[in-house]
Structure 1
Amino acid sequence: MTGIEGLLDGLAVAITPQALLFALLGTIVGTLIGVLPGIGPALTIALLLPMTYGLAPESAFIMFAGIYYGAMYGGSTTSILLKTPGESGSVVTAIDGNKMARQGRGAAALATAAIGSFIAGTIATVLLALFAPWMVNVAVKLGAPDYFALMVVAFLTVSALVGSSPLRGLISMCLGLVVGLIGIDFQSGQQRLVFGQVALMDGIDTVVLIVALFAVGEVLYVSAHQVSSRFDLLRLGKGAKWMTREDWARSWRPWLRGTGVGFPLGVIPAGGSEIPTFLSYALERRLSKHKEEFGKGAIEGVAGPEAANNANAAGTLVPLLALGIPTSATAAVILVAFQQYGIQPGPQLLETQSALVWGLIASLLVANLILLALNLPLVGIWVKILEIPKPYLFAGIMVFALLGTYAVNGSTFDVAVLLVIGIIGYLMRRFGFPITPMVVGAILGPLAEVQLRRALDIAGGDVLALVSTPFTIVVYLALAVVLVMGYVLRRRATRTVPADSGVDEQSTSGAESQ
């Protein structure tokens, strides 16, 4: 089945009344929760994951698709009106978006962000449908050494390029690998790192781990480091003008260029969404005829990065669905959601669960359309949630986290583990350690161990077998190029961001973790 045929079949699934209802529910919930600073799509899906156990897989993933895009839409609203981006992809948007809002052009900034996200998300979803089958055809020909090489790429690119320090990223990733070792060794049957606790023999539930790091750790950090009990919200004035003809003329090219930058860097693990958004910002600043406005309210500085962010989000689903390899925190959470239903993403997924996969991809298009209809006229309603005092909001998040964790296995031990890992997550944020490498290490580590042992067993213990195929050699050479180029591009891109942009550092504590 070709990508276009699959997408058409998926649309038949995604536009049924039940699917549309779950898509609408997901977009509303995702936008409402995504508006809160520090809460991105990964945390939103993690919080709601335990609540979907009674749903059919198709319904649950269609709702997750709505949550995924809805939370990103909400993040752009927060960046523009509060200058407090909740995820890494919205950091650049806050620079010029908030300046536009302070000039009374917040409605135009929100509109270009919403429309750019819709255009980029739609184009990227079509590209996702085209690329996924092609990548599957390549993946079915790979052996254990090849898969292990791909997982090494995911480990090192995510840990070295996410966050401000490669060393801290590597430490975070190693901590995740240790967490993944807890439990019974699948090959020898020996206990590992259980310390006499019978409840740990099955390992730490990945849902508990994710909710602890993203929800509990974030709440503890924000509560400890933000004094004000309310958000400093910029309001949209009555009769605020949306985009003018000039705004449209200055935005449509950045939307397309941002899509072209964001999608490839999502397919190729290049360290999260901050790199494509920074690169898009740098590109627009270089090409713009209004360079003097950048850092002071240039609409191109909102249009390009927002398009790059959404295109990048769709791109990360390509290696997840085709190879079973997550390259972002949100992709890791979606992988866990698949595993909760006994489904393992990979080369066989399109064949064994074609209706589910194509329905998920098509529901991204539906969610995009619903979000455009909801966000443009109703943005004033979404930001009402920011008028609720922070203590009430954070208390609600903690209640959801505790109840959801208990609902996973009905175990108070899981709740205790949640609190312990939540404190670890707080300490990691406090000292600048990114969360994503730990999550990817914990989830992908056991899968990498299986492929490593399988490769060594076939080769009789010969370590050189790990680099014995042309594919592994190309992958490791490409890894070296990605690490070097990613570092260079990030340094070059961040130099283009105005020094006085003033994005709230504390409010972006969760940005690196997304």
Structure 2
Amino acid sequence: MDTLAVDIAPVLDGFTVVLEPTNLLYCLIGVTVGMLVGVLPGLGPAATIAILLPITIGIEPVTAIIMLSGIFYGAQYGGTITSVLLKLPGEASSVVTVFDGHALSRQGRAGTALGIAAIGSFVGGTVSIVALSFLAPVVASFALDFGPPEYTALALLGILLVSTISSGSRLKALVAASIGLLLATVGRDAFTGGERFTFGNLNLADGLDFVPIAMGLFGLGEILYNLEERHTAAQAPMKVANVWPSRRDLRQSSGAIGRGSVLGFVLGILPGGGATLASLAAYAVEKRRSKTPERFGNGAVEGVAGPETANNAAATSSFIPLLTLGIPANATMAVIFGALLVIGVSPGPQLVTEEPELFWGVINSMYIGNILLLIMSIPLVGLFVKILRVRPAILAPITVLITLIGVYTVNNSVFDIVLVIVFGVLGYLMKKLGFDPGPLLLAFVLGVLLEESLRRSLLIFDGNAAEFFTRPISGTLLVVFLLVALLPLIGKAFARRRSAEQQNDTTKELV
């Protein structure tokens, strides 16, 4: 009983933290902003959190992270609204919802689609939070065995997974990650004190700051890109009626919601996974399992329930590697990781034991946030659709001004404004050329950890790199790293062999 009491005490303290009026207010602000961000096509939670980073400096760490996490999982809810009503995915993870959600709205069942999405999102998020509450402390206790060699292997694996699993060209993702690693080396060498890639500029002596890079790539870069690739509504918003789904709809979607919760939770933990991959995988699973796959794309309720449940479950579970290992699983987590560092919190195994109020306060705030989202998701539909009618030519300059003022207030540095503009242009060019800026930011964040851990490890091993494989955890992680790195080559070799065999069979038949 005593052990149980000790385990439950920090969890209960976490609820005490969340229920403080200030934290409840910022939780409400976070999920409301998140829904708004999800509704506005192209902006995304990573860009919004990057823009809001300066605000977090003046408030309590736990309050700041409660707000930022609310923005992240709140955006998954908001993206559904425009996907269903206007055929415009407000968030990347809601792209799949367009297929069946908009088909349902054309049939006069927009309310059903939004109701199922809200219920699935709530269930997926809640299941993931419960699992997070049990699993995160276990992962943290396991991670206490991590030393420099283990962190080296984990950082390598994280960078590779993000580069190979993320959407788009693998080569372009690897190039972006390489640029991120290069940027992480700028500044004074922590071991020798020598300056690297500073070109005599004193502003670069302490290295590049995370805030201007994140705000440039995801804030200014996204704004510039979206001004050019602006979305316009194809039709007037449809009316929403009969929001609560029928028993038949609930029966049809119950299996999809259950499977989406599990699939989303698992994929959210993996580096490079996240909400977008989870929603795509959930849709594919439901279509493959269905006895009538031809319904998908024409208004299948499961086609809305599965992806919407999965993306919310993944948004929550991606906090596990961030809070327990200090490893961001995706680009948005990398921005939140940077926010934690900016406000003086070091995520990792010690966070659970050294700052339990912050750890459990953030996790428990997600229960409250999900309830708030469920309550708000339908009544605010009309308001969010009206916001969509505001011209980008009005919104964009205001957002740019807020971004530049925000980054200046962090260090009162004009040089940071220059960096934001430079990385904003870089982010815009990357989007234009088909490069995902996510791997660059993740590699930049993990690059410092990778370099320091690698050099400490080599000092421990007297320069013998083979020693990495003699330690169980680092050896296992490096074997996984090699398998992931070689998997595309092995797949291509098998494909060539199969193609050659088919050609030989065809030749024999002709002869």
Q: 1:83: how far off?
A: 2.7
Aligned to 1:84: 88
SS of residue in 2 equivalent to 1:344 = coil
Q: 1:485: how far off?
A: 7.8
Q: Which amino acid counterpart does residue 292 of structure 1 have in structure 2?
A: E
SS of residue in 2 equivalent to 1:67 = helix
Q: Whose radius of gyration is greater, 1 or 2? A: 2
Identity of aligned residues (%): 42
2:72 to 68, 75, 78: 68
Aligned to 1:40: 44
Q: For residues 221 and 336 of structure 1, do their structure 2 counterparts lie closer, same or farther at Cα, with a shift above 3 Å needed? A: same
2:121 to 117, 122, 145: 117
Aligned to 1:192: 196
Aligned to 1:310: 312
Query: Deviations 1:288-324 (Å, cap 9, x if unpaired)?
Result: 3442210112111111011111111111111111110
Contact 1:208–1:405 (8 Å) recurs in 2? yes
1:252 to 219, 241, 254: 254
Contact 2:274–2:311 (8 Å) recurs in 1? no
Aligned to 2:141: 137
Aligned to 1:497: none
Q: Report matched runs for 1:147-186 at 5 Å.
A: 147-186=151-190
Q: Distance in 2 between matches of 1:410 and 1:209?
A: 16
Aligned to 1:504: none
Q: Distance in 2 between matches of 1:276 and 1:488?
A: 25
Q: Distance in 2 between matches of 1:485 and 1:77?
A: 38
Aligned to 1:285: 287
SS of residue in 2 equivalent to 1:68 = helix
Aligned to 1:330: 332
Aligned to 2:501: none
2:19 is the counterpart of 1:15:
yes
Contact 1:236–1:380 (8 Å) recurs in 2? no
Report which stretch shifted further, 238-247 or 454-463.
238-247
Report which stretch shifted further, 152-161 or 15-24.
15-24
Q: 1:245: how far off?
A: 2.1
Contact 2:81–2:114 (8 Å) recurs in 1? yes
SS of residue in 2 equivalent to 1:376 = coil
Aligned to 2:466: 464
Q: Report matched runs for 1:431-450 at 5 Å.
A: 431-450=433-452
Q: Distance in 2 between matches of 1:452 and 1:205?
A: 22
Q: For residues 132 and 487 of structure 1, do their structure 2 counterparts lie closer, same or farther at Cα, with a shift above 3 Å needed? A: farther
Q: For residues 23 and 437 of structure 1, do their structure 2 counterparts lie closer, same or farther at Cα, with a shift above 3 Å needed? A: same
Query: Deviations 1:202-229 (Å, cap 9, x if unpaired)?
Result: 2221111111111111111122233x6x
Contact 1:294–1:301 (8 Å) recurs in 2? yes
SS of residue in 1 equivalent to 2:377 = helix
Report which stretch shifted further, 285-294 or 116-125.
285-294
Q: Which amino acid counterpart does residue 166 of structure 2 have in structure 1?
A: V
Higher relative contact order (CA 8 A, sep 6+): 1
Contact 1:455–1:465 (8 Å) recurs in 2? no
Q: Distance in 2 between matches of 1:87 and 1:450?
A: 35
Contact 2:46–2:332 (8 Å) recurs in 1? yes
Aligned to 2:130: 126
Report which stretch shifted further, 338-347 or 275-284.
275-284
Q: 1:447: how far off?
A: 1.1
Q: Distance in 1 between matches of 2:114 and 2:236?
A: 12
Q: Distance in 2 between matches of 1:488 and 1:372?
A: 46
1:404 to 406, 419, 429: 406
Q: 1:157: how far off?
A: 0.2
Q: 1:486: how far off?
A: 9.8
Q: Distance in 2 between matches of 1:454 and 1:323?
A: 18
Q: Distance in 1 between matches of 2:458 and 2:86?
A: 53
1:389 to 388, 391, 398: 391
Query: Deviations 1:216-265 (Å, cap 9, x if unpaired)?
Result: 11111122233x6x544541326455422221111222111101111112
Query: Deviations 1:456-479 (Å, cap 9, x if unpaired)?
Result: 011111121222212222223334
Q: For residues 284 and 238 of structure 1, do their structure 2 counterparts lie closer, same or farther at Cα, with a shift above 3 Å needed? A: closer
Unaligned runs of 5+ in 1: 490-514
Q: For residues 408 and 346 of structure 1, do their structure 2 counterparts lie closer, same or farther at Cα, with a shift above 3 Å needed? A: same
Aligned to 1:104: 108
SS of residue in 2 equivalent to 1:377 = coil
Q: For residues 486 and 277 of structure 1, do their structure 2 counterparts lie closer, same or farther at Cα, with a shift above 3 Å needed? A: farther
Q: 1:438: how far off?
A: 0.4
Report which stretch shifted further, 235-244 or 389-398.
235-244
Contact 2:115–2:243 (8 Å) recurs in 1? no
Q: Distance in 1 between matches of 2:427 and 2:356?
A: 37
Report which stretch shifted further, 349-358 or 231-240.
231-240
Q: Distance in 1 between matches of 2:420 and 2:385?
A: 30
Q: Which amino acid counterpart does residue 184 of structure 2 have in structure 1?
A: G
Give TM-score, length-normalised by structure 2: 0.91
Aligned to 2:477: 475
Unaligned runs of 5+ in 2: 492-511
Contact 2:37–2:48 (8 Å) recurs in 1? yes
Q: 1:108: how far off?
A: 1.6
Aligned to 1:28: 32
Q: 1:103: how far off?
A: 2.5
The alignment covers a number of residue pairs equal to 487
Q: Distance in 2 between matches of 1:487 and 1:274?
A: 25
1:223 to 211, 223, 227: 227
Give TM-score, length-normalised by structure 1: 0.90
2:452 is the counterpart of 1:429:
no
Contact 1:145–1:467 (8 Å) recurs in 2? no
Q: 1:334: how far off?
A: 1.1
Aligned to 1:56: 60
SS of residue in 2 equivalent to 1:204 = coil
2:360 is the counterpart of 1:355:
no
SS of residue in 1 equivalent to 2:329 = coil
Q: 1:163: how far off?
A: 2.1
Q: Distance in 2 between matches of 1:61 and 1:213?
A: 21
Contact 2:110–2:241 (8 Å) recurs in 1? no
Q: For residues 286 and 4 of structure 1, do their structure 2 counterparts lie closer, same or farther at Cα, with a shift above 3 Å needed? A: farther
Aligned to 1:416: 418
SS of residue in 2 equivalent to 1:387 = coil
Q: For residues 462 and 481 of structure 1, do their structure 2 counterparts lie closer, same or farther at Cα, with a shift above 3 Å needed? A: closer
Q: Which amino acid counterpart does residue 299 of structure 2 have in structure 1?
A: G
Q: 1:92: how far off?
A: 1.3
Contact 1:93–1:301 (8 Å) recurs in 2? yes
Contact 1:277–1:309 (8 Å) recurs in 2? yes
